[in-house]
């Protein structure tokens, strides 16, 4: 077993020397080895198997991260950064012979600056803690995802997390003003900028956001704070064609402007499955339609924004864009509408083993893709199930596919069909989950050789020894 290679009693002198140097620099409590290594540090939420790291480092400050990185580099040992370990693509999963560097003890909000509307926070802080601190200070953190209680804000940035409200607030990247980062050589690059405008030299933060811990370890972050929404309006709508859906999207962009906070489309197979088979989900609409969409807007003042939303919806109905619509009359309605969209969390129970995909496509191509992908899957596997839904205003489509009754899901073959069509339609194989290990082989389906060469060149420039999260992404 690979694991046993890493037990300290069997590890060679080199490992013992490394551990001693790390304990000397970081303190014994910050260096876990052998049986002391928690199982949680052996994997993330991907389907990859567990792998015990050589050691787990748990520094409590930036200097500790820098020292750990520097000492590992001196010993030629790789480092895998870990946050909340909720990633879906293996970005934080240990690799053979590497030390895991966990940010779990680098938690806490350092400062909230109401005038600049910024929060300075340590990278290991759970997203939910960040959200709550903003809320208590009278502000709002729009970044939100299912793993909010476990995921770390540093990990959210290293994967450039998305979520439901990207159409309004952008990706995690757009919510960051400043970063502190430890480079693979252990040097610390600090730019805790609070200004929306800062054009003094290269904007280095974007190099680290979304590069999945392969170029540097994010240790501190300056986040933008947003005003709390004053009210939320929502409707579920049905349309008779994808053309009408595009018309509805553009009408929402125009009529709701920057208040538009979600435009979540569900194709009929998805709609039928969740409304008929997921317990507790009720169907707010009657009949069968070409597409269903949950539209949400966040306003500042219900007195102005609720009538605006209703007027806008009525106009769409009168203009013949909508086949049917249900307007939320209460917060309970809003939650019930989101229940249809969030029912995808129940697919393991409802569908059994299945494959999930997080792809992106130009909006105009999406319905053609859905048809082509469903047909291709059913042509290869007669009884294939393929459900399509996603954040269509952002160009993000989720796919759930399976072959019911198969003794093992034909993972690679399904992925090959999904990603070959992504390539054909000019889309992306990862809209929000990243590449990590699990999608790396497919990356050439969506990025050209000159792009990949430039990524490798950046990796070599920042990490010439290939010691930081090696083998991930590029």
C-beta closer to a second copy: residue 181 or 326: 181
Nearest-approach distance from CB 420 to a second copy, in angstroms: 15
Nearest-approach distance from CB 142 to a second copy, in angstroms: 11
C-beta closer to a second copy: residue 19 or 442: 442
C-beta closer to a second copy: residue 11 or 361: 361
- List the one residue out of 459, 303, 410, 431 whose CA is nearest residue 360: 431
Q: Which residues, in sequence order, are CB contacts of 198 under 8 Å at separation 6+?
A: none
Q: In 31-138, which ranges are continuous DSSP H helix?
A: 62-74, 127-136
Nearest-approach distance from CB 139 to a second copy, in angstroms: 9
Nearest-approach distance from CB 250 to a second copy, in angstroms: 6
Nearest-approach distance from CB 258 to a second copy, in angstroms: 4
Distances (CA, A) of 164 to 23, 122, 392, 464: 42, 24, 10, 37
Torsion of Cα atoms, 5 then 471 then 63 then 32, to 10°? -20
Count of positions (residues) in the chain: 474
Calculate ∠ Cα 465-470-474, nearest 5°: 105
C-beta closer to a second copy: residue 130 or 183: 183
C-beta closer to a second copy: residue 96 or 111: 111
C-beta closer to a second copy: residue 202 or 407: 202
C-beta closer to a second copy: residue 34 or 229: 229
- Cα 257 to the center of its chain, rounded Å: 25
Nearest-approach distance from CB 159 to a second copy, in angstroms: 7
- List the one residue out of 60, 70, 79 whose CA is nearest residue 472: 79
Nearest-approach distance from CB 474 to a second copy, in angstroms: 7
C-beta closer to a second copy: residue 96 or 174: 174
Residue 63 exposed, middle or buried by CB count within 10 Å (0-12, 13-18, 19+): middle
C-beta closer to a second copy: residue 355 or 432: 432
Nearest-approach distance from CB 427 to a second copy, in angstroms: 7
Nearest-approach distance from CB 37 to a second copy, in angstroms: 29
Q: Which residues, in sequence order, are CB contacts of 153 under 8 Å at separation 6+?
A: 83, 121, 123, 124, 125, 126, 127, 130, 221, 223
Q: What share of the chain is helix, strand, coil (3-state, %, to 5)?
A: 40, 20, 40
Distances (CA, A) of 203 to 178, 199, 377: 10, 7, 43
Task: Quote the CA–CA distance of 399 and 173 in Å, as a whole number.
Answer: 24
Helix (H) or strand (E) holding 5: helix 2-5
């Amino acid at each position: 077993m690979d694991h046993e290679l890493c037990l300290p009693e069997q590890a060679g002198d080199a490992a013992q020397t490394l551990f001693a140097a790390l304990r000397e620099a970081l303190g014994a409590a910050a260096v876990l080895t052998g049986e002391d290594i928690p199982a949680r540090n052996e994997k993330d939420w991907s389907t990859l198997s567990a792998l015990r790291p050589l050691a787990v480092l748990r520094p409590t400050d930036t200097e500790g991260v820098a020292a750990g990185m520097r000492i590992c580099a001196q010993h030629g040992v790789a480092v895998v950064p870990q946050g909340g370990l909720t990633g879906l693509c293996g970005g934080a999963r240990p690799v053979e012979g590497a030390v895991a560097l966990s940010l779990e003890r680098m938690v806490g909000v350092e400062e909230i600056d109401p005038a600049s509307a910024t929060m300075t926070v340590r990278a290991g802080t759970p997203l939910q803690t960040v959200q709550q601190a903003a809320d208590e200070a009278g502000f709002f953190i729009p970044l939100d995802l299912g793993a909010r209680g476990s995921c770390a804000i540093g990990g959210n940035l290293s994967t450039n997390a998305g979520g439901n409200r990207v159409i309004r607030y952008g990706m995690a990247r757009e919510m960051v003003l400043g970063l502190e980062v430890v480079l693979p050589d252990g040097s610390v690059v600090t730019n805790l900028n609070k200004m929306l405008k800062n054009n003094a030299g290269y904007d280095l933060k974007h190099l680290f956001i979304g590069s999945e811990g392969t170029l540097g370890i994010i240790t501190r972050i300056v986040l933008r704070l947003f005003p709390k929404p004053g009210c939320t309006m929502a409707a579920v709508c049905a349309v008779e064609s994808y053309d009408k859906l595009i018309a509805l999207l553009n009408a929402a962009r125009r009529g709701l402007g920057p208040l538009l906070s979600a435009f979540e489309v569900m194709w009929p197979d998805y709609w039928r499955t969740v409304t008929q088979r997921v317990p507790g989900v009720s169907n707010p609409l009657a009949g069968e339609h070409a597409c269903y969409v949950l539209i949400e807007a966040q306003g500042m003042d219900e007195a102005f924004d609720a009538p605006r939303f209703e007027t806008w919806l009525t106009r769409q109905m009168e203009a013949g864009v909508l086949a049917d619509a249900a307007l939320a009359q209460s917060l309970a309605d809003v939650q019930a509408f989101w229940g249809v969209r969030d029912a995808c969390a129940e697919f393991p129970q409802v569908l059994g083993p299945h494959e999930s995909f997080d792809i992106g496509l130009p909006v105009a191509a999406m319905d053609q893709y859905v048809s082509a992908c469903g047909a291709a899957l059913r042509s290869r596997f007669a009884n294939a199930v393929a459900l399509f839904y996603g954040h269509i205003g952002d160009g993000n489509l989720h796919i759930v596919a399976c072959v019911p009754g198969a003794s093992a899901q034909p993972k690679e073959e399904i992925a090959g069909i999904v990603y070959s069509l992504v390539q054909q339609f000019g889309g992306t194989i990862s809209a929000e989950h990243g590449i990590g290990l699990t999608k790396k082989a497919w990356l050439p389906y969506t990025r050209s050789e000159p792009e990949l060469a430039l990524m490798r060149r950046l990796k070599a420039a920042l990490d010439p020894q290939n010691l930081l999260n090696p083998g991930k992404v590029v």
